[in-house]
Amino acid sequence: MSFIYGIVSLDKKAIRREDIFVLAQTVGYRGFTHHIYTDRALALGYSHHPERRAKAGIFRDKDLLVLADIRIYNRQTLLQHFDFTCPEEAFAKAYWKWGLSCADYINGDFAAVVIDQKKKEVLLFRDHIGARPLVYWHFDHRLIFASHEFGLAKSGLVSVTLSERKLIDQYFRHRKLYTETVFEGICNVVPGRYVVCTADGHCESKPFWKPQDIQKDKTLTFEGAVARLRELIVSATLNRMEPCKTGLHVSGGIDSCGIAAIVADRTPDKTTLTGYSWTPETFEGSVDGVNEKPFIEAFREEKKVNVKYLNIEEYEIVKNAILPEFETQHIEHPVMKMAEKDGIETLFSGWGGDEFVSLSLRGTVNHLFFHFKWGTLLKYARARGIKSTIYQFRTDVLPLLIPFDLLPVYKTGRTDWSILRHLRFSFVRKHWKQIFLYRQKNIFGYGNRTRFALNLLELGHLPKRMDSWAINAERYGYEYKYPLLDKELLEFWFSIPVEYTYKDFQSRLLYREAMKGILTEKIRIRKDKGEALRIACSLRYLQNNKEYLGKLFYSLPTGEHLPFFKPEAFRKVFNQPFFEDKLKNIRNWNQYTLYLRYVALVKKYDSSQSVAENS
């Protein structure tokens, strides 16, 4: 566990030594241990939880300085090229050997900064998928970077203003601006890319990981793909295991439970393992769908792992939803607190599996239609059902034939234009192009199922959530591991012939076959992906906490409301009864909490406030 940070004067002007100590305090949480290195024109360091060992370090040589928050999973492969004693040294030697493409040779989770004194360049690298966060601010030959934007904002070293573009992106669900953070001028380093900053003050982002260039292996049989997939999943999981107290996400689904099963099978002492579920421990009421609790219990009984269910006060859901630093999946925050109490140091997640390795049949109709495989499409319809196929056609194909949400069938991801009533006309007029013309890219594309997966990568959905988890987990003294997003595993997945991903029209067949004998059979053969009990619980919390949410809104002083919103419009919606459309209720909930989150964010990180440690 570690955060990194630094200040570099690209024109060699002296840096105030006290600035790096301020940055260390605001990037790290209260009580963190700091390690700082300073020179005349640069200052950098890393911080970590006082009860956990640092997983960042600084490597220095005559013409090179490397600061890296890094874990390496292909250590043996790298040792074939050079010797190293620590991960940051490995990154330095990879840079010496392969230059700007060095990061593509490292399978790991990392955020790394390379200061090349000879070339007079500073390079910011981030791993292929974005497991470790990294942001930067650049202005007038001064570069400041850190593991998260909130530390930069609180430090007072950069001017902080709310990014209105980012707010629009989130409010209207465009989901295009991953490069930008919630603060104007503070940018994310995009996963799989590096940012190079030169002495003349110019910064440019370039890719080093190019999964779109991976060729399909036409010699690969389906059985061979299953065997290799199984081997890589197990290897990716084992490479991330450490001798410590370990947490496991156990949702009852095939992704999280598959990874949890591998860890459990390789851990003789099961008392060092604890499973965590988002499913509530008790729930009174109806559940619309399959209850996942029996699947979780089947896993617990077979693998002999203690599993803890969610057991929190309803108001805590609301409080977590408006934490300004916690941008997504607020239901995970209670799990974080339980993990801290249990002394967990590593928490395994199946996150990202259904985007790639265990990809469902999403986009199959689109792929078959635009590739003119209409005979196969008819077979698909007979196997999956006419009604289901027509629904997929409406969502996967029609948006590409009739764009701009012109048909009412586009229910998923469709913009609710009624939210315009929340915004002042002057704000809408100022940003009308982004609001009305800056539409989210269709994720399916024109009939290429591989392109569909690449589009999911480019949306930034994966790193956005991982950023949030990484930032908050550091506070509690543990870190997440994502075996299903392993670089070597993903590169193999992109080489698998497309037809294997929808073979026999069975959803997630490749993954299910690879998990035979590992994953609890009751879970492996389940056909749905629902978490009905958790969803039912969340909806009840939404209904029960509407009044509480309203009180928070009404208690805001006039001066704390965002100036470009109309509070009176929110008040009218608060007084409306719940709709029969559950999706609309959830969207309204998200609008309220997003607004309150931004209000809290502006209040906490306004640049006029004095510098203080994060609470």
DSSP for 46-106 reads: EEE-TTS---EEEEE-SSEEEEEEEEES-HHHHHTT---SSHHHHHHHHHHHHGGGGGGG-
Q: What is the mean pLDDT of residues 356-371?
A: 92
Q: Can you say how many angstroms the Cα of residue 596 is from the centroid of all Cα atoms in its chain?
A: 22
Q: What is the pLDDT of residue 384?
A: 93
User: Which range among 11-15, 446-450, 536-540 has the greatest average pLDDT?
Assistant: 11-15
With 90 as the cut, is the pLDDT of residue 491 above it? yes
- Distance from the first to the final alpha carbon of the chain: 18
Look at residue 579 in the predicted model and tell me its pLDDT. 57
Q: Edge-to-edge, what's the strand order for the sheet holding 142-146?
A: 33-38, 42-48, 3-9, 142-146, 135-139, 186-188
Higher pLDDT pick, 251 / 326: 251
Cα(268)–Cα(232) distance, integer angstroms: 22
Residue 613 has pLDDT above 60, yes or no: no
d(CA 525, CA 508): 10
pLDDT at 609 over 60: no
> pLDDT band at 439, cuts 50/70/90?
low
What's the burial of 389, exposed, middle or buried (CB within 10 Å: 0-12/13-18/19+)?
Answer: buried
Return mean pLDDT, the chain.
88
Please indicate whether residue 605 or residue 41 has the higher confidence score (pLDDT).
41
**pLDDT at residue 474 greater than cutoff 60:** yes
Q: 318 pLDDT exceeds 90? A: no
pTM passes above 0.75: yes
Q: Is 484:406 a contact under the CB 8 Å cutoff?
A: no
As a whole-number percent, the residues of the chain with pLDDT over 70 amount to 87
148: pLDDT strictly greater than 60: yes
| Residue 409's pLDDT band (cuts 50, 70, 90) | very low
What is the predicted pLDDT for the residue at 412? 46
Residue 611 CA to residue 596 CA, distance in Å, equals 23
Q: Which tens digit of pLDDT belongs to each residue from 539-589?
A: 676 666 777 777 788 888 888 888 888 888 877 766 666 656 555 666 677
Contact (Cβ atoms closer than 8 angstroms) between residue 245 and residue 345: yes
More confident residue, 23 or 331: 23
Per residue in 102-127, pLDDT tens?
999 999 999 999 999 999 999 999 99
Q: What percent of the chain has pLDDT over 90?
A: 61
pLDDT at 286 (0 to 100)? 67
List b or e across 294-315, with b for residues whose CB sees 16 or more CB atoms inside 10 angstroms: ebbebbbeebebebbbbebeee
The model's confidence at residue 446, banded by pLDDT at 50, 70 and 90, is confident
**For residues 306 and 299, what is the distance between their CA atoms, to the nearest angstrom?**
10
Contact criterion met (CB below 8 Å) for 402 and 409: no
The 10s digit of each residue's pLDDT in 77-100 is 999 999 999 999 999 999 999 999
Residue 531 predicted with pLDDT over 90: no
pLDDT at position 227 over 70: yes
- Express each pLDDT in 346-355 by its tens digit: 999 999 998 9
DSSP 482: -
Nearest 5 degrees, angle CA 182-CA 184-CA 189?
Answer: 70
135 forms bridges with which residues in the sheet?
146, 188
Q: Which two tokens stand for residue 315?
A: 């108001």
Alpha-carbon distance of 298 to 293, in angstroms, equals 9
Residue 488 contacts residue 207 (beta carbons within 8 Å): no
pLDDT confidence band for 403 (50 / 70 / 90):
low
Q: Is the pLDDT of residue 101 over 60?
A: yes
> Using 50, 70 and 90 to split pLDDT, how confident is the model at 611?
very low
The strand pairing partners of 195, in sequence order, are 124, 205
What mean pLDDT comes out for the span 166-179? 80
Burial per residue of 80-119, b for 16 or more beta-carbon CB atoms within 10 angstroms, e otherwise:
eeeebeebbbbbbbbbeeeeeebbbbbbbbbbbbbbbeee
User: Tokens in use for 577?
Assistant: 């009864």
**Cα 455 to the chain's mean position, in Å?**
15
Model confidence band, residue 232 (pLDDT cutoffs 50, 70, 90): very high
By the 8 A CB rule, do 272 and 348 touch?
no
For residues 66 and 86, give the distance between their C-alpha atoms in angstroms, rounded to a whole number.
12
